[in-house]
Copies of this chain bind each other. A is one copy, B any other.
Amino acid sequence: MKAIIHVGLKPGVLDPQGRAIARSLSDLGYDEVSDARQGKVIELDMSGTDKDAAEARVKEMCEKLLANTVIESYRITIED
């Protein structure tokens, strides 16, 4: 089983990496890009077959370790 977790900054939180990307793209002539944001994606290989149980465990992992919930939000997808 695979868990895919998207972690991104909450709206309104300053995103310096995204800013740097937007500026660099503009410098390279890609003027159609008005804004950029960068987040991370974490893929976990997991044992077990119960998707609901896995999702609950991954949510716990996010709260404890994988996301800083003060400034970041996360989204979990469980795949076979």
User: Which A residues contact B (CB, under 8 angstroms)?
Assistant: 6, 8, 18, 21-22, 24-25, 28, 30, 32-48, 54, 57, 61, 64-66
Contacts and interface: CB of A to CB of B under 8 A. Distances in A.
Contacts of A30: 57, 61
A45 B64 CA distance: 31
A30 B44 CA distance: 11
- Which of A6, A8, A46: most chain B CB closer than 10 A? A46
Contact of A42 (B37, B47, B66): B37
A8 B45 contact: no
Contact of A40 (B32, B41, B47, B61): B41
A38 B47 CA distance: 18
Nearest to A31: B47
